[in-house]
Amino acid sequence: MILIGHNVRIIAKPGSRIVVSDIGILKIGINFMSDKQTVVYLGPQSALYVYSCEFMKGCHLVLMDYAKMYVGYNTYINEDSTVEVRSKLFIGNGSALSKQIYITDSDMHKIIENGKEKTHTSPIFIGNKVWIGLRSVVLKGVSIGNNTVVAANSTVVKNVAAGQVVAGMPAKVVKENVTWEY
């Protein structure tokens, strides 16, 4: 089932698809706290696979050509967040992604270092029960383990192991062996 709120724009290019699990629900822009526009852009041949999740008001979800995004159950992305996928993004179950976060698996532009082109796009993996704090940024190629907390205003550029709290820009480990509750 897909529930779509007011002021939601879905742009679906040829060959793109949204696949929701038989017993799951995808909610897009249905929270009532604001009337900001929520935009979902599905580029040609892209696919969004969802078990059960919510993209709140003001979110921009952009899947470029052939991009794939997978979201588990009981996961939400809060207001005014932007997610841009060029290759692959996986988000597990029970994860809480706060307001105004930015996740992208691509630098969009290429850096040439000593005449050699660097990789500018690489998949992102976000595990189960990951809490990403307000205004944080998650960049290409990182893997964030289960039960982690990304503190507010952090920029994640390297892998985060399970059960860690990371903070800062770039995000560094400030605590280990943690869990967290809603």
Ligand X SMILES: CC(C)(COP(=O)(O)OP(=O)(O)OC[C@H]1O[C@@H](n2cnc3c(N)ncnc32)[C@H](O)[C@@H]1OP(=O)(O)O)[C@@H](O)C(=O)NCCC(=O)NCCS
Please identify, using beta-carbon distances, which residue of 95 and 104 lies nearer to ligand X: 95
Q: To which residue do tokens 């060029």 refer? A: 86
Residue 71 Cα distances to 20, 119, 128, 149, 168, angstroms = 10, 25, 10, 18, 26
Question: What are the residues whose beta carbons fall under 8 Å from the beta carbon of 181, sequence distance 6 or more?
Answer: none
Minimum CB separation of residue 157 from ligand X in Å reads: 15
Please identify, using beta-carbon distances, which residue of 113 and 181 lies nearer to ligand X: 181
Q: To which residue do tokens 């696979």 refer? A: 49
The residues binding ligand X (CB under 6 A) are: 96, 98, 133-134, 149, 151-154, 165, 167-168, 174-175
Please identify, using beta-carbon distances, which residue of 37 and 155 lies nearer to ligand X: 155
Minimum CB separation of residue 166 from ligand X in Å reads: 9
Minimum CB separation of residue 160 from ligand X in Å reads: 13
Minimum CB separation of residue 37 from ligand X in Å reads: 22
Please identify, using beta-carbon distances, which residue of 110 and 172 lies nearer to ligand X: 172
Residue 98 Cα distances to 14, 85, 95, 124, angstroms = 31, 18, 10, 17
